[in-house]
Amino acid sequence: MIRKITFAIAAASVAFLAVPAAAQEAEEPRTTYRIEYLKLKPGSEQRWIELGEKYYGPATDAAGQKHPAIHWLMSGPWDIMMVFELPRGMAMLDSHNPPERTAWEAAFQKVAGSKEAAEKLMAETSTIETDTMVVYSHTHP
């Protein structure tokens, strides 16, 4: 009896593996997100908004990229949650210098006026943000 059950399981497994990939249903693509949580220095919210409106947003537009969804959190340890859609999914993490980052940094330097001015703005931003955490997620089709 056990031999018959084992044979049946083995036969079913082989039959499943023999189905050509084209005959299987195509999976819908997933959307992948980078989610960044921020804790701001008390009293710096207005400056954070100003930097976003004057520099970060225009650089994102100039680079031809989507703006993140920004959520002002009302509970928990974080002040802000930014949700960035990753257009190439997790493949964007396959490089230390993805083309999207290169395009955005070039646009940011142009909006800021120079590489040095961009670095100064980034340094200021890092003093406003006292803590950050990044997580990745994706949708299920």
> Helix (H, G, I), strand (E, B), or coil: what is residue 80?
strand
Residue 18 lies in a domain: no
Residue 73 lies in a domain: yes
CA distance 74 to 119: 31
CA distance 16 to 106: 50
Residue 7 lies in a domain: no
Tell me the pLDDT tens digit for each residue of 113-135: 999 999 999 999 999 999 999 99
Residue 79 lies in a domain: yes
Closest CA to 57 of 46, 47, 68: 68
Residue 106 lies in a domain: yes
Q: Which domain holds residue 72?
A: 32-138
* Cβ atoms of residues 118 and 13 within 8 Å: no
Residue 20 lies in a domain: no
Domain count of the chain?
1
Tell me the pLDDT tens digit for each residue of 53-83: 999 999 999 999 999 999 999 999 999 999 9
CATH number of the domain encompassing residue 71: 3.30.70.100
pLDDT of residue 26: 78
Predicted TM-score of the model (pTM): 0.76
Residue 105 lies in a domain: yes
